């Protein structure tokens, strides 16, 4: 059953509200935990872990159950952010195949120093350097800088002669590598 746009907005807002409430209550409880001396301290930490585990488990269930590859990739980003490296291949695939989320996936992979992301990011950059807006190209270049110091010669030349001065500056931080 499909939700109307209004119902969907209400659902998203309610989820955000619940998340904020959970974070606030957890924060308050953990601040009390810091000053509270009791042998039952583990109960509070256990409950916080239980909440986090349930959210993670629901994300994993959705990840495995969905047939929509774009939605699966979105959930993979959340799981990866929570430390689940089993979805790394899905993020690598998102960099190459998902024009809506490749920048987020590339940034997350670079922030975790996933070296396997260099090739998909180079492939994406080779496709996007002509048609993407400068901020997208800059985001890819900045992510790549966390993983490598080299760009293939052809790509290096294209980017260092790009019409955007910001792209030229970022690209010039790399060395030329053989194609």
Q: Is 60 exceeded by the pLDDT of residue 100?
A: yes
Segment 135-150, tens digit of pLDDT? 999 999 999 999 999 9
pTM for the predicted model, two decimal places: 0.81
pLDDT tier at 65, thresholds 50, 70, 90: very high
For 39, the token pair is 């042998």
Separation between Cα atoms, residue 92 and residue 121, nearest integer Å: 8
Q: Is 90 exceeded by the pLDDT of residue 99?
A: yes
Least confident of 30-34, 70-74, 110-114, 167-171: 30-34
Q: Is 70 exceeded by the pLDDT of residue 2?
A: no
Query: In the prediction, which pLDDT does 59 show?
Result: 92
12 or 117, which is more confident: 117
Q: What residue spans of the chain are helical by DSSP H?
A: 5-35, 41-65, 69-81, 88-97, 102-111, 118-128, 134-145, 153-160, 165-171
Separation between Cα atoms, residue 152 and residue 83, nearest integer Å: 31
Q: Is 90 exceeded by the pLDDT of residue 32?
A: no
Map out the domains of the chain as residue ranges. Answer: 1-67, 88-179
For 143, the token pair is 């992510």
104 or 4, which is more confident: 104
Least confident of 1-10, 21-30, 114-123: 1-10
Cα 137 to chain centroid, rounded: 17
């Amino acid at each position: 059953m499909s939700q109307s746009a209004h119902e969907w907005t209400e659902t998203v807002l309610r989820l955000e509200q619940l998340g904020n409430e959970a974070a606030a209550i957890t924060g308050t409880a953990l601040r009390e935990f810091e000053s509270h001396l009791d042998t039952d301290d583990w109960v509070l930490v256990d409950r916080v872990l239980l909440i986090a585990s349930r959210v993670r488990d629901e994300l994993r269930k959705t990840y495995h159950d969905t047939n929509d590859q774009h939605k699966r990739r979105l959930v993979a980003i959340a799981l990866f952010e929570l430390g689940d490296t089993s979805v790394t291949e899905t993020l690598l695939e998102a960099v190459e195949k998902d024009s809506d989320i490749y920048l987020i996936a590339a940034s997350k992979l670079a922030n975790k120093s996933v070296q396997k992301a260099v090739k998909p990011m180079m492939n994406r950059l080779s496709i996007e350097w002509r048609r993407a807006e400068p901020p997208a190209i800059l985001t890819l270049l900045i992510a790549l800088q966390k993983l490598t110091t080299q760009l293939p010669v052809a790509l290096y030349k294209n980017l260092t002669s790009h019409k955007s001065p910001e792209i030229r500056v970022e690209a010039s931080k790399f060395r030329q590598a053989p194609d």
